[in-house]
Amino acid sequence: MATLLAYLPLGQNGFVSWDDMDTIVRNGHIRDFGPASLKWIFTSAGAGYWIPLTWLSLDLDYHLGGLNPQIYHWDNLFLHLVNVTLVFWLAHRILQRAWGPAAECSEPAALLTAILFGIHPLHVESVAWATERKDVLYGAFYLAGLLAYLGYASDPQKPKRKLAYCFLFYLLSLMSKPMAVSFPFALLVLDYWPLRRLAHGAKKIFFEKIPFFIPLLVTAALAVSSQEKTGATPDLQILPLDFRVMNAFHSLAFYAQKLVLPFGFSALYPIVLKSNPFSVRNLVSAGLVAAACAAAWRARKQRPYWTASWVYYLLTLAPALGIVQVGSHAAADRYAYLTTLSLILLFSACLAAGWGKNRSLFTLFTLGLSLFLGALTWRQVEVWRDSISLWENAVRVSPDPSEIAFSNLGLAYREAGRPGEALEAFDQGLALDPGMGALHYGKGLALSDEGDLEGAVGEYRRSIALDPTYSPPHANLCVAYQRLGKYDEAVAEALEAVRLDAHSAQAYNNLGVSYGYKGRIGEALKAFQQAVALEPDSPMYQGNLAAATSMLKKP
């Protein structure tokens, strides 16, 4: 109930210009369960990952409510509520195993763990971002797998069917998000504490984990390969090893800090290429991480729960630390969704054990902390309401100004009919990085809205010169040429846009309009048919197709 109340503003949220358009709104592959769509779902690496179960869940949402964003948001919240329940049972069973079934503190500690997991604002990105369905979905299977493993390992007399269930949940989690590659290591942490199985035949324990590492290796290879194909992974020459190692230390400290001091959350924490990898911030982070590792090592015998909590945090965050860089961000709130669970459990257990004799004090503290975090989560959910609020927040709170954030903010202003503010945002981004083609493209759009077609053409051409493989500048340069009466140039740009992106409905529509101006109605009809096939819900494309059909006297 606390989690549900904290996320009530989600009912007002829409899609945002941060992957939602490509993942959901313009993704024709999630419009049906036909053979072509299913083939794409199970064989492609859309969004740079192989995540067929995530695509299937989004496909189901489309069948339930079309492109109504509420369906996608409420399903994310439903899965998060499922995870909150699973976290309660997982924490309860771990603490019962550690303290004994008669321990009175295990239930309050498990309750506090579930509440903090449910309403901490660090987890808002995973729930309030429609595209991040993969986080809450993989989390559900991951937690279910850990519960199944506890059931298997706690009672060796039971058949190994529960281990098979554990393996199945693990596979389903991997098919939802590659972050689940940490699962076998999480099992080994449970073997160390609270199960203490490693002390009684470690060789056997490691041997039974071998099947779990095979899908791990396959998934890791697929993730890196897919990111390279989509261009999401920066060149390792641009991000040298010392940069990536020091950023990993900073990330480990960063997520723990956000857990303790829940302020200043952003959709983007950008990689700053010109920053010194051995900055004071990174060196302090490395020192803190080293001190925590040393403390965990010293506590391994007397306080194994400290060691287990820290090791789980390290191992589950390892895939997202950027040693093998995936994506263009230095850190992201969504990576903390399951990784900080051990730290939350450690805090809750210590608090419950210390205040076990004073239940009233524990209850008052839990209530006060819940109200505080719930209010912060409510406010952070509202940040994700629309693209403007999301990117205004990113520009405002990020310690490192980002040209990507300014580019997205400019596009959001433009879509809201505020071209003047859009131009200002694009200029701020270009002041940071004049070589970013997307900023020139966005500025061209804003200039076109202002009626400056020649200026728009110049910006589109600058964008194309910086990145000739980027389709949208060609598509919009085509529109500018149409408005300037240069129809031959418009056709040429539309053809180039289609060549670069055969899945762009806008490019086919522009091609059809350009053919129409040239009087080539038959070719225009074919182009509009392609646009409608890619985006059948667009009234504009349907209308153009109807007009071309009528002109050919085919009522």
Contact in structure between 443 and 472 (CB atoms under 8 Å)? no
463 inside domain: yes
Q: Over the stretch 51-65, which tens digit does the pLDDT of each residue have?
A: 999 999 999 999 999
Three-state secondary structure call for residue 331:
strand
Nearest-CA neighbor of 386 among 419, 408, 406, 404? 408
Beta bridge partners of 270: 329
Confidence (pLDDT) at 304: 96
DSSP assigned state of 234: P
| Under 8 Å between Cβ of 325 and 240 | no
Q: Does residue 221 or residue 529 have the better pLDDT?
A: 529
The model's confidence at residue 326, banded by pLDDT at 50, 70 and 90, is low
pLDDT for 331: 92
**Residue 435 in tokens:** 């070589």
The per-residue pLDDT for 380 is: 98
Asked whether residue 476 is domain-assigned, the answer is no
List b or e across 410-444, with b for residues whose CB sees 16 or more CB atoms inside 10 angstroms. Answer: bbbbbeeebbebbbbbbebbbebbeebbbbbbbbb
Pair 75, 213 in one domain: yes
Confidence of residue 47 (pLDDT cuts 50, 70, 90): low
Same domain, 318 and 423: no
pLDDT tens digits, 138-170: 999 999 999 999 999 887 666 678 899 999 999
User: Which pLDDT score is estimated for 275?
Assistant: 79
Where does a domain end: 418, 436, 468?
Answer: 468
Helix ranges, 299-436 (H): 304-317, 341-354, 359-383, 387-397, 403-415, 419-432
Q: How far apart are the first and last CA of the chain?
A: 56
Let me know whether 212 and 259 are in one domain: yes
- 330 φ, ψ (degrees, to nearest 5): -80, -30
Residue 477 falls within a domain, yes or no?
Answer: no
Q: Does one domain contain both 363 and 414?
A: no
- Report, as an integer, the average pLDDT of 83-89: 98
Q: Is the pLDDT of residue 513 over 70?
A: yes
For the ranges 196-200, 225-229, 417-421, 441-445, which has the lowest average pLDDT? Answer: 225-229
Domain boundary among 351, 383, 415: 383
Query: CA–CA separation, 193 vs 213, rounded Å?
Result: 21
What does residue 65 show for φ and ψ, rounded to 5 degrees? -150, 20
The more confidently predicted of residues 202 and 457 is 457
Residue 523, CB-side half-sphere exposure with 13 Å CA sphere: 13
Whether 340 and 194 share a structural domain: yes
pLDDT of residue 358: 83
- What per-residue confidence (pLDDT) applies to 158? 65
Co-location of 161 and 39 in the same domain: yes
**Strongest mean pLDDT among 159-168, 325-334, 405-414:** 405-414
Same domain for 24 and 98?
Answer: yes
Query: For the chain, how many structural domains are there in total?
Result: 3
CB 133 within 8 A of CB 72: yes
Residue 384 in tokens: 């994700």
pLDDT confidence of 231, banded at 50, 70, 90? low
Distance CA(522)–CA(508), nearest Å, equals: 14
Q: What share of the chain has pLDDT > 90, as a percent?
A: 80
pLDDT score recorded for residue 536? 87
Tell me the C-alpha distance between 329 and 475, whole Å: 28
In the predicted structure, residue 550 carries a pLDDT above the cut 60: yes
Residue 503 burial class via C-beta count within 10 angstroms: exposed 0-12, middle 13-18, buried 19 and up: middle
> Residue 229 has what pLDDT?
61
Can you tell me the mean pLDDT for 20-41? 90
Name which of 328, 342, 438 is nearest 146 in CA terms. Answer: 342
Residues 36-53: what's their mean pLDDT?
Answer: 86
pLDDT at residue 354, rounded to an integer: 87
Asked if residue 394 is part of any domain, the answer here is no
Q: Is residue 390 part of a domain?
A: no
Q: Is residue 514 part of a domain?
A: yes
Q: What is the pLDDT of residue 184?
A: 97
Domain identity same for 218 and 121: yes
Q: What is the pLDDT of residue 325?
A: 63
Q: Do residue 178 and residue 150 come from a single domain?
A: yes
Cα–Cα distance between 216 and 218 in angstroms, integer? 6
What is the reported pLDDT for 156?
Answer: 64
Give percent above pLDDT 70 in the chain: 95
DSSP 8-state class, residue 330? E
What tokens were used for 298? Answer: 């010293």
Last residue in a domain, options 439, 468, 497 = 468
Diameter of the chain measured on Cα atoms: 86
Q: Please state the pTM of the whole predicted model.
A: 0.91
Please check whether residues 355 and 438 belong to one and the same domain: no
**441 inside domain:** yes
Q: Is 324 exposed, middle or buried (0-12, 13-18, 19+ CB in 10 A)?
A: middle
| Residue 8 and residue 111 in one domain | yes
326 and 448 housed in the same domain: no
Q: Between 423 and 160, name the one with better pLDDT.
A: 423
Instruction: With H, G, I as helix, E, B as strand and everything else as coil, classify residue 238.
Output: coil
Can you give the pLDDT at residue 238?
A: 65
Tell me the chain's radius of gyration from C-alpha atoms: 26
Full domain range(s) for residue 523 = 482-555
409 within 8 A of 392, measured Cβ to Cβ: yes
| Angular region, 279: left φ>0, alpha ψ -120 to 50, beta rest | beta
Nearest CA-CA partner of 264 in 350, 331, 201, 176: 331
How far, in Å, CA of 297 to CA of 304, rounded? 9
- Residue 222: the pLDDT is 81
User: How confident is residue 232, by pLDDT bands cut at 50, 70 and 90?
Assistant: low
Beta-carbon neighbour count of residue 491 at 10 Å?
Answer: 22
CATH number for the domain that contains residue 504 = 1.25.40.10
- Assess contact for 377 and 6: CB atoms under 8 A: yes
User: How high does pLDDT run on average in the chain?
Assistant: 92
Look at the block and give the residue holding tokens 């498990």.
110
* Domain contains 54: yes
At residue 370, the pLDDT reads 96
Residue 62 amino acid letter = Y
